Amino acid sequence: MNRHKTVFFITLGLLTIFTAVYLWAASSTAQSAPKNTRNRSIQGRVVSEYGPVHNARVRVAGDESFTTTDRQGRFEIGTGHRPAKSLKVTAGKDGWFNNGVMAYPVGETGDIFLNPIPRGDRPGYRFISPTVCARCHNKLARYWDRSKMAHTTSNPKVLDMYNGTDASGSKGVGPGYKLDNPQNDGNCVSCHAPSTAVSDSGVKNLNDALWSPRAEWDGISCDYCHKVRKVIRKKANPSRMGPIMKRLTPASGNTILVLGPYDDVVNSVMAASYSPVFDQGRFCSTCHSHFEKLSSGTVWDRNRVYTDLEWKGFGLEDNTELPIQTTYQEWKQWQGQLSADDANKGKRCQDCHMSWRKEMLPYDNFVVEGSARNMWGTKRSPRNIRPHHFEGGTETQLKTALSMEVAADIIGKTLTVKVFITNTNGGHWVPTGETMRSVMLLLNTTDSNGKPLKMIKGSRLPEWAGSGNDAAGNYAGLSGAVFARVLQDDQGNLHVPFWKATSVALDTRIRPKRTEIFEFEFAVDDPEDEPTTEVKLIYRPVIKPLAQLKKWKVEDILITSIIW
């Protein structure tokens, strides 16, 4: 009996040892698998009819990481894909059509042959309607169609300012560019109808552009933007910047040239070409900048408004020009002032205005839908897909950009309120863009019975904050401050349109990372009382007098509110 027990325990012990060894070996194999996977690589060459292509970007289609070719056109790229899985390895370079080959994750692959984009441009090209793009890029097209970008030509406020009309259609309601310049069409089309501006149609009038057969949409279209090859300085343009277009039509078939941020798009429908400008703030500069040259002999005192550093950041040399809109220059100057290790260094316009929002969940992994996805869709990280909503001046953006803190104290019969407003996350001055916009700081200070306290120190909101009932958004004369760029003419009239302006009266907008501090004092009748102050930060898209004159329905946006 004892002998049987001994044999049993010896057998059990051996089984235990063998099991432990097996599990250890399996564990070692599992742990080493990723290491072997990381060591896999694909080698090859990128060539053209002219020889090796240097500095081409090579990647497995859809992967975030890429490598570049050496002077012999050779590349080696690591991959974590399964050995038996066939992959598409793609190559792209600025000025060349993308291309790719199928390969396995280990070893040499065939040469990737690139063709250069033909030289020249075709101003007679007819831009493609966005409805064509929406057949494959349906979701991106829906985001775009809901944006202001898609309807820049038909924007009612733009047309009212151009024609001198109001929201009811009444004519002769200034300001209006054509009212003041009946013989001049201006250059509004360069940004509000750019496809007609760059064509050989000769259309310069904004009304004509809206109905022109050369206008493929009532705003900035997909095909227009994706025909921009580069952005260069053009002094004749309002923005002092301009696009270099690349428009081609194939001799046969339906393939079209599409420039964009991807170097791995390779399919039979689009002759895609990688263009780095799509991931640069420079791309936005052609329209998010506006300067006006004053008439001969006219100058203005810019030192009253801007520092030398700010003026230099605008790229202006003397006092004969007015900065009307400087969003791009504000961003560029901010980036130039950041240290190399700052978390915001390298942040571009696209990172904020073409980014995913929580309400857009689930985020996309493809830029195409339907059968197009099945045929040639490339799965990507959402980090590498930019939803085309072009968000700006919204509640989400404003709440993200500005922050406010309030501190108050009662000493004797005086209530002192300090307000700290910081441009925390705005990559440009706030508000930016058109000069009709403003941000208002508003204080409502009362005793415990709701009776307003008399302000004995502090600033008040100007007349153009609206005169009348404050319940209707009229805040002129109330405790607070305003942040805006205000243009004036040679008669001292404020908030004139850019074509009448001769100087900038003030520019109190909040610079990036700067904190503006305001102090207010109120008389307290009873030192034992417990007064209350409600502090609001409000964004107003259009100043009150202009909105009333034009009969525009404009809603303020409450950025933040604090009650002390």
Instruction: Look over the chain and give the mean of its residue pLDDT values, rounded to a whole number.
Output: 91
If asked whether residues 465 and 492 sit together in one domain, one would say yes
Q: How far is CA 179 from the centre of its chain?
A: 33
Query: What is the reported pLDDT for 212?
Result: 87
181: nearest Cα among 553, 546, 547, 500: 500
If asked whether residues 542 and 463 sit together in one domain, one would say yes
Domain end marker among 85, 113, 141: 113
The reply to whether 183 falls in a domain is yes
Q: Which residue segment(s) compose the domain that 77 sits in?
A: 39-113
If asked whether residues 155 and 283 sit together in one domain, one would say yes
d(CA 171, CA 284) in angstroms, rounded, equals 33
- pLDDT tens-digit profile of 355-375? 999 889 999 999 999 999 998
The reply to whether 299 falls in a domain is no
If asked whether residues 86 and 196 sit together in one domain, one would say no
In the DSSP assignment, the letter for residue 479 is B
HEC-encoded secondary structure of 498-528:
CCCCCEEEEECCECCCCEEEEEEEEECCCCC
For residues 429, 435, 437, 443, the Cα torsion angle rounded to the nearest 10 degrees is 80
User: Residue 92: which CATH number?
Assistant: 2.60.40.1120
If asked whether residues 426 and 536 sit together in one domain, one would say yes
If asked whether residues 202 and 262 sit together in one domain, one would say yes
Nearby residues of 180 by Cβ (< 8 Å), 6 or more positions away: 164, 174, 499, 500
Q: Which two tokens stand for residue 54?
A: 């240097």
Domain end marker among 83, 113, 143: 113
Query: What is the reported pLDDT for 39?
Result: 66
**DSSP β-bridge partners for residue 231:** 243
Q: Are the CB atoms for 242 and 72 separated by under 8 Å?
A: no
Q: Which two tokens stand for residue 299?
A: 């100058």
The reply to whether 104 falls in a domain is yes
465: nearest Cα among 442, 493, 491: 442
The reply to whether 155 falls in a domain is yes
If asked whether residues 236 and 126 sit together in one domain, one would say yes
Query: What is the reported pLDDT for 214?
Result: 78
Nearby residues of 531 by Cβ (< 8 Å), 6 or more positions away: 410, 415, 445, 446, 447, 448, 453, 522, 524
Q: Are the CB atoms for 397 and 292 separated by under 8 Å?
A: no
Query: What is the reported pLDDT for 107?
Result: 84
In the DSSP assignment, the letter for residue 15 is H
**DSSP β-bridge partners for residue 58:** 67, 91
If asked whether residues 457 and 542 sit together in one domain, one would say yes
If asked whether residues 225 and 129 sit together in one domain, one would say yes
Query: What is the reported pLDDT for 85?
Result: 77
**pLDDT beneath 50: ranges in the chain:** 1-37, 252
Question: What is the radius of gyration, based on Cα positions, of the chain?
Answer: 31
Q: How far apart are the first and last CA of the chain?
A: 88
User: Residue 407: which CATH number?
Assistant: 2.60.40
DSSP string across 140-201: HHHHHHTSGGGGTTT-HHHHHHHHTB-TT--BS-SS-HHHH-TT---STHHHHSHHHHTSTT
Q: Residue holding tokens 């004995």?
A: 456
Query: What is the reported pLDDT for 516?
Result: 98
Which long-range contacts link 526-530 to residues 24+ away (Cβ below 8 Å)?
Answer: 526/447, 527/410, 527/412, 527/413, 529/447, 529/448, 530/448
Nearby residues of 250 by Cβ (< 8 Å), 6 or more positions away: 256, 271
The reply to whether 185 falls in a domain is yes
If asked whether residues 80 and 174 sit together in one domain, one would say no
Q: Are the CB atoms for 197 and 152 separated by under 8 Å?
A: no
Domain count, the chain: 3
DSSP string across 389-448: T---SSHHHHHHHEEEEEEEEEETTEEEEEEEEEE-S-SS-BS-SSTT-EEEEEEEEE-T
Query: What is the reported pLDDT for 255?
Result: 67
201: nearest Cα among 186, 190, 212, 216: 212
559: nearest Cα among 431, 371, 416: 431
Q: Which two tokens stand for residue 132?
A: 């064509």
The reply to whether 29 falls in a domain is no
Query: What is the reported pLDDT for 200?
Result: 87
The reply to whether 1 falls in a domain is no
Query: What is the reported pLDDT for 79?
Result: 86
For residues 504, 510, 516, 522, the Cα torsion angle rounded to the nearest 10 degrees is 70
If asked whether residues 80 and 126 sit together in one domain, one would say no
If asked whether residues 437 and 373 sit together in one domain, one would say no
Domain end marker among 380, 408, 428: 380
Q: Are the CB atoms for 517 and 424 separated by under 8 Å?
A: no
d(CA 182, CA 487) in angstroms, rounded, equals 22
The reply to whether 478 falls in a domain is yes
